Chain A
């Protein structure tokens, strides 16, 4: 909550992902008057998912702007504003709706600095919830990590924890390039301890750097966003059986920190990737390709295994939905398979 920003903080404070994003945006809005937020229901409604709660009250109509339901229109307006020197945060209520505006994200934002020969930067942030939620069915559950990660000119980040969320949104806003921030609706309410560094108003997490959330020796598990939680859960279960998993939280999709993954694989000799998105042409597929192209390939004792969403549009019925997203049991199964157990 924006209110928390004004209080003296205890060393290890529990902050939800939602609050962390709110704090990050609040600090950047305060720091630089060129920063502003636009999107549907971001101002007077306090945000469809309450991520921008309190910001309109604090910064007013000029900095926090409610738009009509016109993604192509307001994304275009945001890109134009970025080209003219402002620093917009363009919220998509979910990234599913960004498909209405994808031409602006790719053709107007991502490619422009290149097409202009380095003349015209587009310092814009596109943010919002990405991927599966609960029971929202086919048109509202797609993961866009692979689609946006495919495009040169874009930076794409995917925070998991509150620390990730705060540090990455601040870095994204300060970055002079178009950055897509893929949040996760089911993570918004999850509390995490924020380390003391995260309380500084200049706390930034570098874009393009992964984090090892858990050290291990037998197998490397690489994931991003909410599935990181499932990976840690699987690691806890397997630890009891004497299998120690090294869990890597990618934090950034593009540019991908393949070096951290390679160094880990060169230590553990086994790799499992875990993502919520569809398998074909996905994040895991890219990791597999890069591993083969680099030094870590010769250290693999078994082929890389991918754990992904099922290759179907997201079904509505609970039993089908549960089996269309990667579960802890699927991760454990994949790990044991690659360890030949």
Chain B
């Protein structure tokens, strides 16, 4: 009883301590939703494309804003931890591309399946893992989503198949296109076109940079990947296309990464700082959503600022955990080699060092 009273009093005193702006916010009348015009998608082998207007509810808007801001802050925290050498190895950040992972998730169901390459932290989050589990995996701790054994490029979740480190599969993608089309598989092939493959611009690597057309017999869409509403609508359209049994479809999301290819790439030897700055000031996905919401009275600047503060705190807490959590125990070095097998012995650096392997 005392505990309950204490809890109740904490909550009440918490409300009283909220800054004055909160009280103002609560009494303002926001719109429930607003309609926005979005860019028309370029179409390949499609008579019609996604709609050019969409309705955004206040609730969804706040949710998307929060998710994008979380991905942004999480990636920037990873940058910081990498520079402090608390994160090691490879680290490919997706700041700038938040509208892609958040917009995609907004257009599909949690029961749909998703797989991606190494720039995967944003997707790992949108597919349902906590920032804590992600950062602790990046720092190689036992609380990480792969128990510290996978690292940046090898994160998995329900209906999320990673996180994959090996690409170089230009031929393989055409094999996949062929089989998906042949068997009418309900598959959306997505290209996050951020203009560069590591240090090589798309013009220097691709005979055709119209990636949305490269599926040939597979219809495609080219989407403004910096506008989360555009990504959501295109995804809804593509998902509906697939679910109706028509077969695969391609989506090219035109987007941009602020960081270099990875933390070992400064990202300025093959593109100019002016270019990066221009994208930041004109096309930042979080800024675009914020402006839309504020200008159509879906939210206030103060409210969004509060979300920023809240997100910062969440990231800080997660980073604390990720730095303080212990590394996985040495005895578990041999675990998880096989699934569903009885325990066996694993050889270490010499024949006298043995580790137990448990499924």
A and B: interacting chains: yes
- Partner of A312 from the list B148, B154, B206, B337 (CB cut-off 8 Å) is B337
Interchain Cβ contacts under 8 Å between A and B, 6 examples: A40-B198, A100-B168, A310-B347, A315-B333, A316-B150, A330-B353
- Partner of B355 from the list A99, A305, A310, A317 (CB cut-off 8 Å) is A310
On whether the beta carbons of B333 and A305 are closer than 8 Å, the reply is no
In whole angstroms, what is the CA distance A309 to B348 when docked? Answer: 7
On whether the beta carbons of A320 and B350 are closer than 8 Å, the reply is no
Residues of A within 8 A of B166 (CB): 96-97, 99-100, 139
On whether the beta carbons of A45 and B200 are closer than 8 Å, the reply is yes
On whether the beta carbons of B165 and A140 are closer than 8 Å, the reply is yes
Counting CB contacts under 8 A, is B88 at the interface?
yes
Residues of A within 8 A of B334 (CB): 310-312
How many chain B residues touch A (CB < 8 A): the figure is 49
On whether the beta carbons of A137 and B150 are closer than 8 Å, the reply is yes
On whether the beta carbons of A309 and B171 are closer than 8 Å, the reply is no
On whether the beta carbons of B89 and A45 are closer than 8 Å, the reply is no
Counting CB contacts under 8 A, is B141 at the interface?
yes
Counting CB contacts under 8 A, is B327 at the interface?
yes
On whether the beta carbons of A317 and B141 are closer than 8 Å, the reply is yes
Residues of A within 8 A of B200 (CB): 40-41, 44-45, 66, 68
Counting CB contacts under 8 A, is B199 at the interface?
yes
How many A residues are at the interface, by size bracket? 35 or more
Within 8 A of A (CB), among B214-260: none
Q: A262-290, CB under 8 A of B: which get 1 and which 0?
A: 00000000000000000100000000000
Residue pairs across A and B with CB atoms within 8 Å: the count is: 160
**A71, closest chain B residue (CB):** B168
Q: A308-324, CB under 8 A of B: which get 1 and which 0?
A: 11111101111110011
Counting CB contacts under 8 A, is A296 at the interface?
no
**B142, closest chain A residue (CB):** A317
Instruction: Kindly provide the distance from the CB of A171 to the nearest chain B CB, expressed in whole angstroms.
Output: 28
On whether the beta carbons of B350 and A317 are closer than 8 Å, the reply is no
In whole angstroms, what is the CA distance A290 to B146 when docked? Answer: 41
- Partner of B198 from the list A48, A308, A320 (CB cut-off 8 Å) is A48
On whether the beta carbons of B328 and A45 are closer than 8 Å, the reply is no
Among listed A128-136, A205-213, A239-247, interface-contacting one: A128-136
In whole angstroms, what is the CA distance A96 to B149 when docked? Answer: 18
In whole angstroms, what is the CA distance A92 to B305 when docked? Answer: 47
In whole angstroms, what is the CA distance A140 to B346 when docked? Answer: 21
- Interface on A for B, CB 8 Å cutoff? 40-41, 44-45, 48, 66, 68-73, 96-97, 99-100, 133-140, 279, 305-313, 315-320, 323-327, 330, 333-334, 337
Dominant SS among interface residues on chain A: loop
In whole angstroms, what is the CA distance A44 to B199 when docked? Answer: 8
In whole angstroms, what is the CA distance A312 to B337 when docked? Answer: 7
Within 8 A of A (CB), among B159-176: 164-171
Closest 5 CB pairs of A and B: A135-B89, A135-B88, A316-B151, A317-B140, A317-B148
Residues of A within 8 A of B154 (CB): 137-139, 316
Counting CB contacts under 8 A, is B27 at the interface?
no
Instruction: Kindly provide the distance from the CB of A45 to the nearest chain B CB, expressed in whole angstroms.
Output: 4
In whole angstroms, what is the CA distance A324 to B165 when docked? Answer: 20
Residues of B within 8 A of A327 (CB): 349
Counting CB contacts under 8 A, is B197 at the interface?
yes
On whether the beta carbons of B349 and A320 are closer than 8 Å, the reply is no
On whether the beta carbons of A41 and B198 are closer than 8 Å, the reply is yes
Residues of B within 8 A of A140 (CB): 89-90, 153, 165
In whole angstroms, what is the CA distance A44 to B269 when docked? Answer: 9
Residues of A within 8 A of B170 (CB): 68-70, 73
On whether the beta carbons of B348 and A69 are closer than 8 Å, the reply is no
On whether the beta carbons of B88 and A139 are closer than 8 Å, the reply is no
Residues of A within 8 A of B18 (CB): none
Within 8 A of A (CB), among B252-311: 269-270
Residues of A within 8 A of B204 (CB): 44, 66
Residues of B within 8 A of A136 (CB): 89-90, 151
In whole angstroms, what is the CA distance A32 to B124 when docked? Answer: 50
Report which residue of A70, A315, A319, A337 has the largest number of chain B beta carbons within 10 angstroms of its beta carbon.
Answer: A315
Counting CB contacts under 8 A, is B205 at the interface?
yes
Counting CB contacts under 8 A, is B330 at the interface?
yes
In whole angstroms, what is the CA distance A133 to B89 when docked? Answer: 8
On whether the beta carbons of B198 and A317 are closer than 8 Å, the reply is no
